[in-house]
């Protein structure tokens, strides 16, 4: 069982890794980790950028929005994390960013294709789309609707807002956020150049999931982002 100190450190590191992946939007966006005692989620405190998150800028937030430990204030959109984790016992980390490529691609209302390795986890089955609102997900009802949009998948695009990704641990949730943003960017670039003519079919997608994205490669990519974040803080 992880201690509170370890959970706080892991939460800070996940947010810093998102900064290293290039997904910062000033002080908005957040990553959260499940509290193993089912008290809620450990998440970035409001008012700080991904890259500014340290151990004293992490709060334990209950499903009712109470700050139970750590240091607040909490983000308004805490239900993104609490409701998705209530709906998905297999999820240990939830990420929400405002990646510009995700916003731009979601506005096209097109299927996301596996044009590169990045899109493999989101093309088949198709990545969820949360269409209830493009505004803040600030209530349990909206958080539950988001969880429904994600289903048993790896995340969702939020048209007019950004993206949410999930994973059993920070490595997979953070890397999936990076990969989803990159997959959107690759498809935008392809569309700008002309008609898209080739992409991975279902069989190649399944092969790539096993060959390109085993757990070891998620861990390797996440470790790289953590090294970048550590170097940036020196």
Which phi-psi region, left, alpha or beta, contains residue 48 (left: φ > 0; alpha: ψ -120 to 50)? Answer: beta
For residue 136 the two structure tokens come to 């803040």
Give me the residue label for tokens 């970048």. 228
User: ∠ CA(131), CA(171), CA(77), 5° rounding?
Assistant: 35
Coarse DSSP helix, strand, coil percentages of the chain, rounded to the nearest 5 percent: 45, 15, 40
Is 156 a domain residue?
yes
Is 233 a domain residue?
no
Whether the per-residue pLDDT at 72 is higher than 90: the answer is: no
The contacts of residue 125 (CB under 8 Å, 6+ apart) are 153
pTM of the model: 0.97
Residue pLDDT, tens place only, 108-151: 999 999 999 999 999 999 999 999 999 999 999 999 999 999 99
Q: What CA–CA distances, in Å, run from 46 to 21, 43, 77, 214?
A: 20, 9, 10, 33
Is 234 a domain residue?
no
Range of the domain at 9: 4-228
Is 150 a domain residue?
yes
Residue pLDDT, tens place only, 175-220: 999 999 999 999 999 999 999 999 999 999 999 999 999 999 999 9
Element (H, E) at 162: strand 162-167
Q: What total of structural domains would you count in the chain?
A: 1
Q: What is the CATH classification number for the domain harbouring 184?
A: 3.40.225.10
């Amino acid at each position: 069982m992880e201690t509170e100190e370890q959970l706080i450190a892991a939460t800070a590191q996940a947010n810093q890794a998102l900064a290293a992946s290039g997904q910062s939007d000033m002080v908005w966006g957040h990553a959260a980790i499940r509290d193993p005692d089912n008290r809620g989620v450990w998440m970035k405190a409001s008012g700080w950028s991904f890259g500014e998150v340290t151990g004293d800028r992490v709060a334990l937030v209950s499903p009712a929005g109470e700050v139970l430990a750590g240091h607040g204030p909490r983000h308004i959109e805490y239900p993104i994390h609490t409701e998705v984790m209530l709906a998905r016992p297999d999820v240990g980390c939830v990420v929400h960013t405002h990646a510009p490529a995700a916003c731009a691609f979601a506005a096209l209302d097109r299927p996301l294709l596996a044009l590169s390795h990045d899109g493999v986890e989101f093309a088949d089955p198709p990545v969820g789309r949360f269409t209830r609102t493009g505004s803040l997900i600030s209530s349990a009802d909206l958080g539950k609707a988001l969880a429904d949009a994600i289903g048993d998948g790896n995340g969702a695009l939020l048209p007019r807002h950004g993206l949410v990704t999930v994973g059993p641990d920070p490595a997979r949730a953070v890397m999936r956020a990076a990969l989803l943003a990159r997959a959107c960017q690759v498809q935008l670039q392809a569309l700008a150049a002309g008609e898209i003519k080739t992409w991975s079919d279902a069989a190649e997608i399944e092969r790539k999931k096993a060959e390109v994205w085993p757990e070891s490669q998620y861990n390797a990519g996440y470790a790289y982002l953590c090294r970048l974040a550590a170097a940036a803080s020196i």
